[in-house]
Amino acid sequence: MQDPRTRFPQPPFENQKPFEMPGSTSKMDPTPDHGESSYTGSGKLKGHRALITGGDSGIGRAVAICYAKEGADVMLNALSESDDLTAAAAECRLHGGKVETSLGDLRQESFCKELVQQTVSKLGGLDVLVNNAAYQEVRESVDDVESELFDRIMKTNVYAPFWLSKEALNHIGAGGSIINTTSIQGFDPTPSLLPYATTKSALLGMTKALAGMAIEKGVRVNSVAPGPVWTPFIPGSMPEAQVQKFGGSTAFGRPAQPVEMAVMYVWLASADASYVTGETFGGTGGKMPL
């Protein structure tokens, strides 16, 4: 038994200095837990082939590692080459399955189609799509939200999951699944994250609507709505004062670690969740509105 309030680091995070997006796991203090040692697999996803966007860091990296530990072959997508992507892929390879990486900008429909096709070719098929990649920036006034920024966030967070899901459904067979990363921001928006919150609300609706279409092929579509999670997103997009107290307002008095979210993605991809579709599961630290 372990007290969930003290299982992982609590704020203040006084040693963490903000840095520019997309951030770097190696620059984070404390280092996020992606399940490298804290997660033990049991073969739940043996034989599954999964595409995970934003698989280089944060929740995506944790999902990739946990999937690999569960016996899945994985394709990790990232925008560009980085130490994070190298480290994530290396950790996944420790567990024996196929591990592939693909670099590219999800804001391009043509690349989204290509990414799915690459996955099918290199892994021999596709069973699970995890739409996790996202982008955010803080703006204190609506006047400061540039159209270019709004467009970037919409393309990354909404268009890409649509394009990827559309193409993936040509390949995922009955029993497969699509899992979207939404957010508490889709239910309870922070004003300074207006564009990001807008996209996460849209993704909630997409999850529900797509589930009704995909189940005609025997494919389930669900989403996970994290609250504050300790990832490079945080020091990469927030002022230092916010970073220092990040997650302190939750019931646990701390942010989640990526591995604490990844376990939900494992369950949703597995046969254990065979009667679950069109649902959103919160991991918000007690902050999900009723």
Q: What average pLDDT values come out for the chain (290 residues) when binned by 10 residues?
A: 96 87 88 97 97 98 98 97 96 96 98 98 98 95 97 98 98 98 96 97 98 98 98 90 94 98 98 98 90
Q: What is the CATH number of the domain that holds 111?
A: 3.40.50.720
Region of 175 please: left (phi>0), alpha (psi -120 to 50) or beta: left
What is the per-residue pLDDT for 174?
98
Residue 213 inside a domain? The answer is yes
Catalytic residue among 39, 196, 265, 275: 196
What is the per-residue pLDDT for 290?
63
- Tell me the C-alpha distance between 215 and 219, whole Å: 5
- Tell me the C-alpha distance between 236 and 21, whole Å: 5
Residue 226 inside a domain? The answer is yes
- What percent of the chain has pLDDT above 70? 100
What is the per-residue pLDDT for 23?
78
Residue 81: which domain range? 43-230+256-282
Degrees, nearest 5: CA angle 54-58-63: 75
Helix (H, G, I), strand (E, B) or coil at 13: coil
Residue 37 inside a domain? The answer is no
State the pTM of this model.
0.97
Residue 241 inside a domain? The answer is no
What is the per-residue pLDDT for 13?
94
Residue 16 inside a domain? The answer is no
**DSSP assigned state of 192:** G
The 10s digit of each residue's pLDDT in 111-152 is: 999 999 999 999 999 999 999 999 999 999 999 999 999 999
196 is a catalytic site residue? yes
Query: Which residue is it, tokens 């982008």?
Result: 135
Residue 145 inside a domain? The answer is yes
- 278, 212 contact by CB (below 8 A): yes
- State the total domains in the chain: 1
What is the per-residue pLDDT for 178?
99
Q: How much is the mean pLDDT over the chain? A: 96
Pairing state of beta strands 280-283 and 220-226? parallel
Among 36, 110, 30, 38, CA closest to 68 = 36
Residue 215 inside a domain? The answer is yes
Residue 182 inside a domain? The answer is yes
